[in-house]
Structure 1
């Protein structure tokens, strides 16, 4: 067979689908199915990781369409936010890294690349490219509803304005102060989508406790940062990095002014957190080593010791040491005791360190006075170089003490640590001894502008108040009534709903929709993308009015959207709105009908990284704005993709663009490969070699069905092996259907493609040499079913084959196959499995026994009494009960000893599943085939007991002697 021209087949059917508007549904009197996927952010080409996210809903949409549903699967483009503006800025400044990515990885022609100094040109280029990619991938999208975000598309912008006015009127958009990730160079808050590196990094709340340093009769504070303020009672010393740069600075906050010593990096970061920092001098940490500071809680004087492990870019760069309860501190002190030359360098008497007494604070079951010391010994930590073990020890102790520890120090003695922690933090702050500092849990956090982010306290910032308790309760109610795939992700959604609080919803820079009541702010990307699924329902009409020049977006006011999405049908209201908007009343009525028909949304699909933000915001915004009957019904979450075992990275050039994968392999091969690799939210790995193998199998599928299309499908008298093939086809239909109903695409592919292919190979082996009407009927019937099973995975090839088969219309609209009740035959399947296993057993006997020139095999099937034993054991599942039942039969009592042994063996092997087949009949029907496969003469149940094997025969496991 010549190489299959995938590209020609794809173009043929893509053109016909578009011309005949196959995927542009109108309201019909049949059940609807509405599925959407998070629209892509268009700062570059989509890669094969994205391909999975977008192929899953298309496969499901195609499946449901074939099941007879009226399916809506629309698509739009997300261009809101700062990233695109940042890219334009970097290209304008000729940033080499950015230029390389867009020229080499995204293959943007040079004459177009320089136009990217204007963010609108970036958007225009990648929107066109994304649409082409989606069409080339064979996605069954309703393109009549296409739109993009931001004020560059005024109708949608008016919809977003309506959303925000609605939230504001409910008191869910508020103004206030809050901590945000911040780009200090551009001067803008950063949402999840504005982060290039470190988007999942947690923001920690440190308590910074002001230890007191007396220097030249001046009281200076050295704020030590801690996540465990309760341990301040157990401080034995302070740690500073002698090589780091520290500053003495005036720190002003409100009416208070103090002098602090902190790292240079901390001074910079704190300047964004409601503090005015005036640096007086800079110096190395070594200047303070050996000095003493006073613990503001206990009044103890503790020494400052050198520690290279102190990171000046973490919190304040000043660390308090609590060796009884902090493994790192204990090990650092032990290491320092061995390094007397370091101590002498700073004029510290080594005896001072030797004599440091640990202070026990927490009673913890299973540990003595100093849990940190015991945990370090238990894990075999030798020094500070044992990073991993020390991290493990720290996690173990902190977790155990927090959840099970009891505080020993008055006035908190006897209280649980988790309660004491908050009490002490509050008390320290009330006394002015401590303050809060926000810090990233990990570094670096880089914005899409390429700058290192900081945490800033913003005042007069607009927030969506996801912390509102009533709103949370409604979100929980909605989630409880939704289907989540995989179900294991439900607890994560619940946790996100619990911890979500105020979220900054507007920026001063970037593309977007201006905040309607405060237009110097622009609504950010995770806030204008939560309910646009409702906009899709009316966008077909909006787009048509725009094309005809009959739409003035400025007239799409709040009343217009209030009516479409919230009110009861009213002819009078439609006439009023027609007067105001210039849109004919009948079109307003149709829009309203469309929304009511398609809503609620049946499925929202996206990758798992959007659970902590977009997907949960989607639930919140729906329950706030729409009535309960319009709340979403389900969310399906998928995993990520890697390339040849490595994480995809534009900067490292380790990316395969989706369109390039299609050009290399064909859309159907890419689709099938991605769908076959992983289930639900498991990650997949793209490997070019494996894709090549799959392409050959897809070509074989095409070749086989093309051949079978020549046959006529006339029902005729079938042999057992024919019935087996049809039974297995039923199994494939059932398995693929169940898999797709539950978004388990890998399972569905296993059934729809691999299972049918493997079963067909076996059937062709079993019927080799046959060319009768029964075989042709089976193969022609299989071809008709197989093409429809594969249509959602490989739509282009399936359309081509459907045409060859003489199918009516498009296979995309053909009826999804259902199991044929007449084809079910579990017995024949068991008999065929029996034959397969026997062939493999005989091959294994010949191999293990090293029988050269084997001539014949003697097969002994289990006698009737053994079948009876197996059936009774399967029913009773107990030795005594089974024995008692069997011994009632005089015939069975003749085999008493053997029966006892057989029952014991079956119970030990838990062999409780037994379905009776006629073993001898199965062997005699397959005798010629078995002989051909093995090259042996097969003798079934001879009188002679060769090698004494006969007695070993068990139900479904015949005894074999080979000579």
Structure 2
């Protein structure tokens, strides 16, 4: 057993002592600057995080070995309300929170109760995260470490400067905007402030005010819809008879009206610029059977009962458009069949029976009533066929929106996609419609444990990402950036298109005070956009003990935005007390390391952090400092299930390291998935890999004892060296493209498999050539594996007598002398032949066979094959072949061969000396098969010889 833990501790200590990952300016080397989104420290990192952070470390190590001066720094994110929310829940002994922190994160109980103070949460998990990163072997420059919020005055000063500059440019504005809101705590909620529902969009419903007249009083029933144009096709209204509705005075926009909405809707509307005074509460059944007037058409329509109406969705008042809404059609048909319900509410069944559908939209491929046709097509029997109805709804809504033409005046002939907004605007101008904002899913929960609402905020500070000039610059930057995988570029473009104002400050939580309005605190997704620039100067700030108050905005202006000037450095030195040479050093560091070469993060940050990262860079920095690349990775699952802290289905990164060793964890995660595809952690597979890595260690340790003197090589030795070249080339190309799974396949599994074959082929040999090949392989293999398994490889590099650290050794390059495609083809030929003979023996049940006769393709077949590979067309091939008199004699046989090769698309065939390859491998083949091998005998056993094809010998077994 290899003691992975002892090896890890040994080399982590040496790396730290030698500070080999703390780069300085070196103009003799190309620089390479890579960062990853710093972790949010509300808990331990899990194995999903492990992938996000291991990828850039592998790339950093790879580039360092390629001769680049690599900067890979790390910091900690503690801004926002989540940590404060956790402290509150622990203070109130919330059982779920206690379970997560005591049982999942394994925080000792005596420490857990100190978490009532959010600062203690921060301190505990910062220390734990750093220990995890060190234990994982990440090649981080810890001299540049910092954390966010005013608890770190130096970084606080940097964020203050950033926001002052954004405001100067008119990119931070004050105004009204819809936001996610915690109604209990009273704070806006950013993506990081949510426990659940981060991806749930906010929908804009149009509320069409249907009119109920009672005792001379005008009462409005605001029907919520996402398709306002369908108001022309309303045949009835739906209310849930069992839901609680309210009659309320609603004051908004200088008006006072009486509305009837669900009780839940009244609560939500109170956050959306409406003053709500509830006058009466009642069940929906009170209104069933009453008639309301359509404010657009003037039609009187009846209110019908519908259990499917959700009072917690929008207003709980739904207009029915059965010609174009499958659910409405199904519900009406159900009512026609169930007259008992109608009689319960004293509704004459004939009223429902006589409801006439109203056709609004021409849609190619459908008749007057698309919803009816689509429901029938899918076999909908009743409104209980919810899956079919949902499918029908998606199909019809999408088709009508994109291809439908409206056929009702005054919008006749206009595409539905345009009519929708026209109808909404016209109704709002006439005062017969309003707006309500609602989540697409109810389950939007804040980190404080409260259900969020949509609130209209006034006097809120926003970053105006909708600014058209700013967007244009962001798009310009995006188009010149590398995006990995490239398929994600379209998503970035879409996000850039729709992104508008974003609330950038809160009144609660940890963070940097807004410099011009310190009651507000800058939120977590707004203070984490350009901190990569701060990394470049943080080493000097930490080293020289520069204080936050010394870092004035004018200093940051000079470092990041202005030309170099000795006079300016002296002037700033007088103002700040920072030595001029230190200011010069900071500026030189920024200008050396910037622009950022790669930004790495998980795919869920594309709609927020990664987009803001691009926008803020182009807003503040000169074009030459715009970022050059973004690499996106996927998520992780655990034993086939989504990781969930609340369910205890989480594997902490540090626990995985303790159980398996850092190198095993690193290699396993890197081998699982490519780019932004997701991976699944399987404990059995990890154990298997651990055994393979131990075998790797043993093999290299053994090969380290061999001499590396060149010797006369046999073909199989040359094959192994050629395959080493292939592995170097494959791993290098994959790592350049961040394809870690492919890189592991080449650097580890491919070599492991090739070595197994080589050892089989050379069994019994113990000569100088074999020892030379194995010693050479060891030297290359250790370096190829170093980015993935750095601890083991350092130990093995030492055994091999390598100079210094393998982490700083030269990355292998293919040796031109080792390339030999012919030998590889010959070896593949031998492998394939052995497998074919084994299969023949198995199928024909020839277990007692004694010998095998092997016939190789004659020269004329090789000539035909080569012409086929060149011409790839039957007529062209035959024309060329028939120039040869000998070929003409074989007319039909040649034509048959040409036809066969073209049909099989055998266009990549390359010539080898089949007989030579067979003779050199004869002993090995006999040993593998336990048969006597006879190559190209004069006697044509079983008439097999004529079946021989290039690269496919004919075989007769007896």
Q: Which residue of 2 is the match for residue 287 of structure 1?
A: 286
Q: Deviations over 1:743-766 (max 9, x none)?
A: 000000000000000000000000
Aligned-partner Cα distance in 1 for 2:337–2:659? 62
Task: Select which of 635, 639, 642 maps to 2:637.
Answer: 642
1:441 has 2:436 as partner: no
1:566 deviates by 0.3
Q: Which residue of 1 is the match for residue 853 of structure 2?
A: 858
1:879 has 2:858 as partner: no
Q: Which residue of 1 is the match for residue 812 of structure 2?
A: 817
Aligned-partner Cα distance in 1 for 2:359–2:547? 73
Aligned-partner Cα distance in 2 for 1:465–1:136? 41
1:852 deviates by 2.9
Q: Which residue of 2 is the match for residue 381 of structure 1?
A: 380
CA contact (8 A) 2:550 2:578 kept: no
1:864-943 map, 5 Å: 864-943=859-938
Aligned-partner Cα distance in 2 for 1:383–1:866? 69
Q: Deviations over 1:758-816 (max 9, x none)?
A: 00000000000000000000000000000000000000000000000000000000000
Q: Which residue of 1 is the match for residue 774 of structure 2?
A: 779
Aligned-partner Cα distance in 2 for 1:558–1:391? 56
1:738 deviates by 0.3
1:276 has 2:275 as partner: yes
Q: Which residue of 1 is the match for residue 18 of structure 2?
A: 20
Q: Which residue of 2 is the match for residue 598 of structure 1?
A: 593
Aligned-partner Cα distance in 1 for 2:187–2:849? 81
Q: Which residue of 1 is the match for residue 668 of structure 2?
A: 673
1:830 deviates by 0.2
Q: Deviations over 1:461-501 (max 9, x none)?
A: 00000000000000000000000000000000000000000
Q: Deviations over 1:803-849 (max 9, x none)?
A: 00000000000000000000000000000000000000000001111
Q: Deviations over 1:497-537 (max 9, x none)?
A: 00000000000000000000000000000000000000000
Aligned-partner Cα distance in 2 for 1:603–1:829? 37
CA contact (8 A) 2:784 2:812 kept: yes
Aligned-partner Cα distance in 2 for 1:962–1:139? 57
1:555 deviates by 2.6
Task: Select which of 721, 728, 731 maps to 2:726.
Answer: 731
Aligned-partner Cα distance in 2 for 1:383–1:25? 70
1:758 has 2:757 as partner: no
1:714 has 2:709 as partner: yes
Q: Which residue of 1 is the match for residue 472 of structure 2?
A: 473
CA contact (8 A) 2:180 2:453 kept: yes
1:529-608 map, 5 Å: 529-546=528-545, 551-608=546-603
1:906 deviates by 1.0
Q: Deviations over 1:549-605 (max 9, x none)?
A: xx3311311101000000000000100111111110000000000000000000000
SS at match of 2:823: helix
Aligned-partner Cα distance in 2 for 1:895–1:569? 82
Aligned-partner Cα distance in 2 for 1:374–1:849? 59
Aligned-partner Cα distance in 2 for 1:747–1:552? 46
1:337 deviates by 1.3
1:797 has 2:795 as partner: no
1:254 deviates by 3.0
Aligned-partner Cα distance in 2 for 1:673–1:925? 39
CA contact (8 A) 2:481 2:628 kept: yes
Q: Which residue of 1 is the match for residue 956 of structure 2?
A: 961
Task: Select which of 934, 945, 950 maps to 2:945.
Answer: 950
Structure 2: where are the runs of 5+ without partners? none
Aligned-partner Cα distance in 2 for 1:555–1:890? 93
SS at match of 1:390: helix
1:387 deviates by 1.6
Q: Deviations over 1:250-279 (max 9, x none)?
A: 011132000000000000000000001111
Aligned-partner Cα distance in 1 for 2:893–2:242? 83
Q: Which residue of 1 is the match for residue 204 of structure 2?
A: 205
1:106-505 map, 5 Å: 106-505=105-504
CA contact (8 A) 1:860 1:960 kept: yes
TM-score, scaled to structure 1: 0.99
Aligned-partner Cα distance in 2 for 1:384–1:860? 71
The number of residue pairs the alignment matches comes to: 957
Task: Select which of 11, 36, 51 maps to 2:9.
Answer: 11
Aligned-partner Cα distance in 1 for 2:830–2:368? 69
1:38 deviates by 0.1
Q: CA RMSD in A?
A: 0.6
CA contact (8 A) 1:42 1:127 kept: yes
Q: Which residue of 2 is the match for residue 686 of structure 1?
A: 681
CA contact (8 A) 2:203 2:438 kept: yes
Task: Select which of 826, 833, 843 maps to 1:831.
Answer: 826
Q: Which residue of 2 is the match for residue 847 of structure 1?
A: 842
1:862 deviates by 0.3
1:377 deviates by 1.1
Aligned-partner Cα distance in 2 for 1:211–1:110? 59
CA contact (8 A) 2:728 2:784 kept: yes
Aligned-partner Cα distance in 1 for 2:817–2:550? 61
Q: Deviations over 1:337-363 (max 9, x none)?
A: 111111111111111111110000000
Aligned-partner Cα distance in 2 for 1:272–1:184? 9
1:726 deviates by 0.4
Q: Deviations over 1:923-957 (max 9, x none)?
A: 00000000000000011001111111111100000
Q: Which residue of 1 is the match for residue 64 of structure 2?
A: 65
Which shifted more, 438-447 or 599-608? 438-447
CA contact (8 A) 1:552 1:581 kept: no
Which runs of at least 4 in structure 1 moved beyond 3 Å after TM superposition? none
Structure 1: where are the runs of 5+ without partners? none
1:545 deviates by 2.1
CA contact (8 A) 1:874 1:914 kept: yes
SS at match of 2:564: coil
Aligned-partner Cα distance in 1 for 2:60–2:248? 62
Aligned-partner Cα distance in 2 for 1:671–1:352? 70
